[in-house]
Every structure is written in C-alpha cells, then in structure tokens.
C-alpha cells in the first residue's frame, strides 16, 4: 500500500478560491517525488495537507492505507509521527529557548522516548554535520544553515515513513544544500521512506527526485485530472 495517497484534494484558505483543486498524488515506500511550480502555486499548501497540518476542504488523505483521522492538533500521534517535515525557514520552526541538541531531541521528549532515542539524536547530529560546540548553542547563535541542519535531524529522529521537505534548501548555500540532500537520500535508501520535496528550483529537484510534478495552478481538474508522478515526468 502507498505511504501517502491524496485523492481529489481541494484546499484553500478563508473560503476564498481554492489553492488546490482536485489534486491526487500517490507516493510509495522508497519513492521520491518533487513538487515544483512558481511561488504561490500551492506547493506549501499541498505539503501541509500531506503533513496533516492543513485540513483540505474536500478529498481524502491516506497515510499507510489509513484515512487521516484529524488535522493539526487533532491529528493522532501515530499518524503525526509517521511524517517528518522540514520547512523553508528554520527560525519559524525552532523554539528559540532550546539548544540545538535539545531541538533535535524534541520529538523524543514529546513522545516520552527520550533516553531510548538519545543515541540516535547524537548520531543524527553528527550525520547532519553539527559539532558538539554547535549543539550547545541556541538558534540565535547559529546560522540559518546550521539551524536547518538541526531541523532536518529533528525531522528524522522518529524514523518517519514519509519525509516532507518544503523548500528545505531555499535559504541555504550550495555546500549546506548538498550536505542536507545527501542526508535525506541516505535516510530514504536506508529506511525505504517516501520523500515529498517541494521547491522552485526544478533542476535541483530533478537531480534529487527523478520524478517532478509541476503544480502550477493550472492542473485544475474538473473531471478528476490527476496530478501524479507520470504527469510531471
């Protein structure tokens, strides 16, 4: 069964014109799909729907064969923890009071699995290239790239079956981009996880994902046009 299945998803904000209309997408274990398209076309919205952070107006979201049983704070923990998310702006996603080490371990503490996952947190910190000195710092004492490294490690801590990277590298330099893409690739191969990567840099996405779906807002679909990997390949 697919890791993620969106069926005829229509979504938007504040009862205005929908941002996504009738979008369908299927993502299997180990598959990597890129979402591209100009700014404002709905990539982040789709990413948030898939991450159970935004409730669609219509359509269904299934994770590992089970319908989403809630969105945002209503999403049940077992579905929420099946998905890891990294956003474009790490500062908006990081508690400024936490050291990077504590930030990476946050999901373990939140799920009552801290001692058990402490070694994994340390291994991930090393994998994303954070030295012990950096791990002791707080967000305002590190660069965007260093903070994003921590955010990626945090997203991988609970071994998500689906990883969503929403413009993860948009604010990063080439070296940090390459390092983080490599960590994601290793994780996907090792765990057979599914990857949904949204970004405006189609060249990077194509190298990274092989399959890229263009979500340019015209993939509106009155008779159920599907946005699927074939459509963008």
Q: Contact between 19 and ligand ADP (CB under 6 A)?
A: yes
Is 45 a residue that touches ligand ADP (CB under 6 A)? Answer: yes
- Which is nearest to 117 in space by CA: 86, 83, 156? 156
Binders of ligand ADP in range 98-157 (CB under 6 A): none
Q: How far is the CB of 138 from ligand ADP (least distance, A)?
A: 23
Residue 43 sits in the site that holds ligand ADP (CB under 6 A) = yes
Contact residue for ligand ADP among 24, 26, 44, 177 (CB under 6 A): 44
Burial of 14 (0-12, 13-18, 19+ CB in 10 A): exposed
Residue 38 burial (10 A CB sphere; 0-12, 13-18, 19+): exposed
Residues 194-223: x/- map of binding to ligand ADP (CB under 6 A)? ------------------------------
Residue 2, both tokens: 């697919």
Q: At what angle are helices 114-127 and 100-110 packed, to 10 degrees? A: 140
Instruction: State the DSSP H helix or E strand holding residue 228, giving kind and residue range, or none if neither.
Output: none
Least Å distance, CB 18 to ligand ADP, is 9
**Shortest distance in whole angstroms from residue 1 CB to ligand ADP:** 27
| Interface size with ligand ADP, residues (CB under 6 A) | 13
Residue 167 gets the label, from left (phi > 0), alpha (psi -120 to 50) or beta, of: left
- Site residues (vs ligand ADP, CB under 6 A): 13-14, 19, 37, 39-45, 88, 167
């Amino acid at each position: 069964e697919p890791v993620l299945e969106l069926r005829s998803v229509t979504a938007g904000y504040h009862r205005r014109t929908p941002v996504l209309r009738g979008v369908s997408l299927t993502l299997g274990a180990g598959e990597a799909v890129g979402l591209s398209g100009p700014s404002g076309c709905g990539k982040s919205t789709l990413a948030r729907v898939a991450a159970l952070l935004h409730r669609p107006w219509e359509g269904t979201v299934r994770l590992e064969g089970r319908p989403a049983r809630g969105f945002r704070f209503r999403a049940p923990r077992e579905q929420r923890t099946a998905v890891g998310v990294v956003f474009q702006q790490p500062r908006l996603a990081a508690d400024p009071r936490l050291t990077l080490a504590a930030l990476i371990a946050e999901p373990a503490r939140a799920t009552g699995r801290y001692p058990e996952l402490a070694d994994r947190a340390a291994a991930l910190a090393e994998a994303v290239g954070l030295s012990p000195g950096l791990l002791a710092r707080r967000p305002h004492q590190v660069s965007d790239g260093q903070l994003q490294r921590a955010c990626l490690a945090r997203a991988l801590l609970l071994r998500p079956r689906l990883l969503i990277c929403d413009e993860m590298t948009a604010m990063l330099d080439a070296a940090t981009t390459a390092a983080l893409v490599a960590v994601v690739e290793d994780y996907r191969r090792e765990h057979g996880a599914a990857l949904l990567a949204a970004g405006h840099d189609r060249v990077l996405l194509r190298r990274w994902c092989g399959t890229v779906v263009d979500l340019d807002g015209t993939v509106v679909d009155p008779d159920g046009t599907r946005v699927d990997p074939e459509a963008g390949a």
